[in-house]
Structure 1
Amino acid sequence: MNIAAAANEDMAYISNVLIYSAMAVYTLAFAAHSAEWVLGSRSKVGRTAAALTHHSSTAPAPAATMTKRKSSGTTVLEHTEVITRQPAPGSRDFPDGPGAAAGSRKGELYGRIALSLTVLAFLIHLGGVVARTWSVQRAPWANMYEFSTTFSMVAVSAYLLFLARGKNVRWIGLPLVTTVLLDLGLAVSVLYTESDQLVPALHSYWLWIHVSCAIISGAMFYLGALATVLYLFRDRYESKLTDPQGKQPGALAASVLERLPAAASLDRFAYRVNAVIFPLWTFTIIAGAIWAEAAWGRYWGWDPKETWSFITWVAYACYLHARATAGWKGRKAAYLALIGFACFIFNYYGVNMFINGLHSYAGV
């Protein structure tokens, strides 16, 4: 008995060390992603060419240009990429940005470093979750700390899976790593729970099924929400570029937003992610009802967690319906998607921390 307890404590300690180590590497990845975006800005030549393209109705900007640089008294010609971000005249059909870095080899280098560090951080993060599982000998998501660490790990794994399949989602890297750091920081500082805490109601195989589905659904909803927020910024940016009065976005906004996919691409990505994962969220609620009947003798009792899960379902159902309804596409539908994700976040943090119910375990 004592040997088993000591082994559990050892694995719990290893899990904690791995989670902190993952945070350290995610921090390095954050710095590299930031450098990628800063150093990936297009050169002044590139920006000038793009500006000329915006006001020209006949010829597109060149794909490349040459600039002079003096080095040790010798004039050197440098090849500078020019990537046009403007639509065809009279159109809002913008091309996609490169996803992150553009016009700078340094930006691309830092981008590769950032991706490598993200992969390393994910592997360490995964090790922390596995060690927690070994420590408690059960599913590692029985409280808010475990749910948070697993949630962010699944979100990063989904991002890396998209990249592995050749999807242009490098633009997710910086906001994803930033919020993963915030999530883990909150988990280790506010939500931390000892590894041996488990209430009787959670001793069920439904813990593996119901909560794992909730984690996967939430992680995908999160990626969809990120794309939706960026869509709103990019759409506003594109509106200014095509403003008939010639109103142009600021230099800082342009340097970031021009590298994102087009608003239409971001909107499409968010819709597909939310549409694909919505059936799993539906199953999550159904699985929770079946578990509730086994644990408490009723399928549905309008417990706060059940109520807000249903509200989240309704919000996303309205969003998906809106996308298929004329007049409710674009920004209006995007706002519905963000309302749905806000309901999910409140269901997780607000209900668990501030509202008492049958789903409130171990204080958090």
Structure 2
Amino acid sequence: MTSLTDSISSWSSNFFIIAFALYCVAFLLFVVSLTGKKWNHGDPEAHTRKWGGTAFTVTLIAFLCHLIFFFTRWYAGGHIPTSNMYEFMTFLGMMIVLAFIIVFLLYRKHVLGAFALPVAIIILAYAAVFPQEIQPLIPALQSYWLKIHVTTAATGEAFFAVGFAGGIMYLLRSIDFTDRSPSARKEQKWLEFTLLVMVMIIGFVGSIFSFNAAGYKAKFTETVTYTDKAGVEQTMEQETLYVLPPLVMPHNGQTIEMTPFLGMNEPLFRAPSWMKGASAGRKLNTVIWSVLSGLILYGVCRLIARKPLGAAIAPLMNGLDKEDLDEISYRSIAIGYPIFTLGALIFAMIWAHEAWGRFWGWDPKEVWALITWLFYAAYLHLRLSRGWTGKRSSWLSVIGFIVVMFTLIGVNLVIAGLHSYAGV
């Protein structure tokens, strides 16, 4: 039975790799369907339909492979694969693709694939940096509410991701990059900053993959101070593993092992003493590497494009109806909001009451889920009651998904709480 389970697990991983590769191919085909119109002077719309249709077909095949990965991993592990960061992120990526398929069938806009699929691809690439072994469920997750709460919350967030893609497209279509007025330049800079943040995420994932492939690692001992249940302050020694070259080492740490990097045999400096919490030095190191790799990648893209990224991408939006793009963003969020409400708030509170005897406990993950819910509630209120459409609505959809990403990544990996197991 064990050999059969291992075989199924291996096949499951293969289907994930195939799905990821096909998503990348589909994204490139969507890009060709847009950029290739310049080369096809006979019938540009026919070119878009041909290549866009092929890209959508490849997306469907990739999604089918992703489903096979999901259900075979479920069978091999004996529980729904949403119990850790790797499994949750792969599920979220799958739901983003499903949300894209649904919205695409409603509006038939091929350009959406060129912006929604990259979000799913980044999420899946980020998932791959976590341990991929099938792990038994810890006691806190041994409940049927795991299926209900996590899947509905992730589905709601997936539609928010498509709303984010629609918002970015609207801003690229509506902002005039030739306008030199102060207000226009301010819009251009904020949009460019948003694109820079996305490039930083890509750069961070790329760095993790590169150093993992090279087998890089560094280990430190760290003195950690904590308060026990009796309120007494205690200290303990713990080992901290870095998978990125340690520019910053723990404040109270000592080097155990470190692979040399560009002649660097020791970290450049220690984390400041005011940085508290578990693995504070490693988290600071991760932030520094994210910024550095993102800036380098952004600089390369700028050199290739010879202009701001927003100005380079904006011509792809020419000919698109701005109202359609605004509608895509709004409808995606309108679909996702009630699903997120059920999954992230109502079902979560019911499970919290069963697990911990209270509906609400101000855990960081609970707080940020509430912040996300309130933000999108404000978005819908301002749009429906105050007439916030167009640019204002699109900016809110972009900011909202940034809040979602912080809830998923920042809270799980930076802020300690009852949901910290999700970062393992």
Measured in 2, the distance between the counterparts of 1:151 and 1:331 equals 27
- 1:221 is matched by which residue type in structure 2? F
Q: Does 1:180 align with 2:120?
A: yes
- 2:7 is matched by which residue type in structure 1? D
In the alignment, what sits opposite 2:322?
Answer: 263
User: What is the percent sequence identity of the aligned residues?
Assistant: 35
Classify the secondary structure of the residue corresponding to 1:30: helix
2:163–2:328 contact (8 Å) kept in structure 1: yes
Measured in 1, the distance between the counterparts of 2:423 and 2:157 equals 22
Q: Does 1:354 align with 2:414?
A: yes
Classify the secondary structure of the residue corresponding to 1:40: helix
- What's the TM-score, normalizing by structure 2? 0.64
Structure 1 residues 270, 177: CA separation in 2 closer, same or farther (over 3 Å shift)? closer
Matches for 1:101-180 after TM superposition, within 5 Å: 103=44, 105-164=46-105, 166-180=106-120
Using the TM superposition, give the Cα deviation of residue 122 of structure 1 relative to its aligned residue in structure 2, in angstroms.
1.1
Structure 1 residues 216, 327: CA separation in 2 closer, same or farther (over 3 Å shift)? closer
In the alignment, what sits opposite 1:219?
Answer: 158
Matches for 1:1-364 after TM superposition, within 5 Å: 3=1, 5-41=2-38, 80-81=42-43, 103=44, 105-164=46-105, 166-188=106-128, 190-237=129-176, 255-260=315-320, 262-284=321-343, 285-326=345-386, 328-361=388-421, 363-364=423-424
Structure 1 residues 272, 179: CA separation in 2 closer, same or farther (over 3 Å shift)? closer
Aligned length: 294
Give per-residue Cα distances to partners, 1:15-50, cap 9 Å, x unaligned: 111111111222222222222122123767xxxxxx
Using the TM superposition, give the Cα deviation of residue 254 of structure 1 relative to its aligned residue in structure 2, in angstroms.
5.9
Measured in 2, the distance between the counterparts of 1:163 and 1:336 equals 22
Using the TM superposition, give the Cα deviation of residue 329 of structure 1 relative to its aligned residue in structure 2, in angstroms.
3.3
Measured in 1, the distance between the counterparts of 2:389 and 2:58 equals 37
Structure 1 residues 274, 331: CA separation in 2 closer, same or farther (over 3 Å shift)? same
Classify the secondary structure of the residue corresponding to 1:324: helix
| Greater radius of gyration (CA) | 1
Structure 1 residues 161, 336: CA separation in 2 closer, same or farther (over 3 Å shift)? closer
- 1:35 is matched by which residue type in structure 2? V
Measured in 2, the distance between the counterparts of 1:269 and 1:278 equals 14
2:173–2:314 contact (8 Å) kept in structure 1: no
RMSD over equivalenced CA pairs, Å: 2.5
Using the TM superposition, give the Cα deviation of residue 276 of structure 1 relative to its aligned residue in structure 2, in angstroms.
2.7
2:40–2:47 contact (8 Å) kept in structure 1: no
- 1:207 is matched by which residue type in structure 2? L
Measured in 2, the distance between the counterparts of 1:223 and 1:118 equals 15
Structure 1 residues 324, 150: CA separation in 2 closer, same or farther (over 3 Å shift)? same
- 1:153 is matched by which residue type in structure 2? M
Give per-residue Cα distances to partners, 1:237-290, cap 9 Å, x unaligned: 4997xxxxxxxxx99556411143x22221122112212321222222111011
1:42–1:104 contact (8 Å) kept in structure 2: no
- What's the TM-score, normalizing by structure 1? 0.74
- 1:314 is matched by which residue type in structure 2? L
Structure 1 residues 26, 275: CA separation in 2 closer, same or farther (over 3 Å shift)? closer
